[in-house]
Amino acid sequence: MTSDPTDFTALSDEEWAARLTPAEFRVLRRAGTEPAFTGEYTDTKTSGVYRCRACHAELFRSDAKFESHCGWPSFFTPLAGDRIIERRDASAGMVRTEVLCANCGSHLGHVFAGEGYDTPTDLRYCINSVSLTLEPDAE
């Protein structure tokens, strides 16, 4: 029996694998990381809304994106606090804060605080491009 496609939290690994490319599945569903400076949105300056590539939930606005020169798209705040989930991540020999889509539970990246960026929040949401799709603003 196939789960309801609007309840993304109920999708099985097989259903996710059928919906996503192997690279998307590895990052979004297995908490992988795309190589630095390879993502399509790392240097994008297009105005619009960044959505979760897995479920299309609105996550970030382009006006919260900034150049951190870290190799991944960086945002200083999500569109709204209820759009993401933050949880402790002790993998890879360090403690970080993982960022997940609140709608489907997909891995987006990590958030870092206190790095000294000249942004309103001093937060850097370091997000994999493969976790996002950009919906440009209407002209």
**Structural domain boundaries, residue 97:** 8-134
Q: How far apart are CA 123 and CA 139, in angstroms?
A: 30
Q: Is residue 1 part of a domain?
A: no
Q: Provide the pLDDT confidence category of residue 6 given band limits of 50, 70 and 90.
A: low
pLDDT in tens, 37-67: 999 999 999 999 999 999 999 999 999 999 9
Q: Is residue 3 part of a domain?
A: no
Q: Is residue 59 part of a domain?
A: yes
CATH number at residue 98: 2.170.150.20
Pair type for strands 58-61 and 65-66: unpaired
Q: Is residue 83 part of a domain?
A: yes
Number of structural domains in the chain: 1
Cβ neighbour number for residue 114 with a 10 Å cutoff: 8
Contact 56, 87 (CB under 8 A): no
pLDDT reading at 2 higher than 90: no
> What distances in angstroms separate CA 25 from CA 32, 61, 70, 106, one per listed residue?
9, 23, 23, 9
Q: Is residue 110 part of a domain?
A: yes
The whole model's pTM is what? 0.91
pLDDT in tens, 63-107: 999 999 999 999 999 998 899 999 999 987 889 999 999 999 999
Q: Is residue 2 part of a domain?
A: no
The answer to whether residue 126 is catalytic is yes
Catalytic residue (one of 52, 101, 104, 126): 126
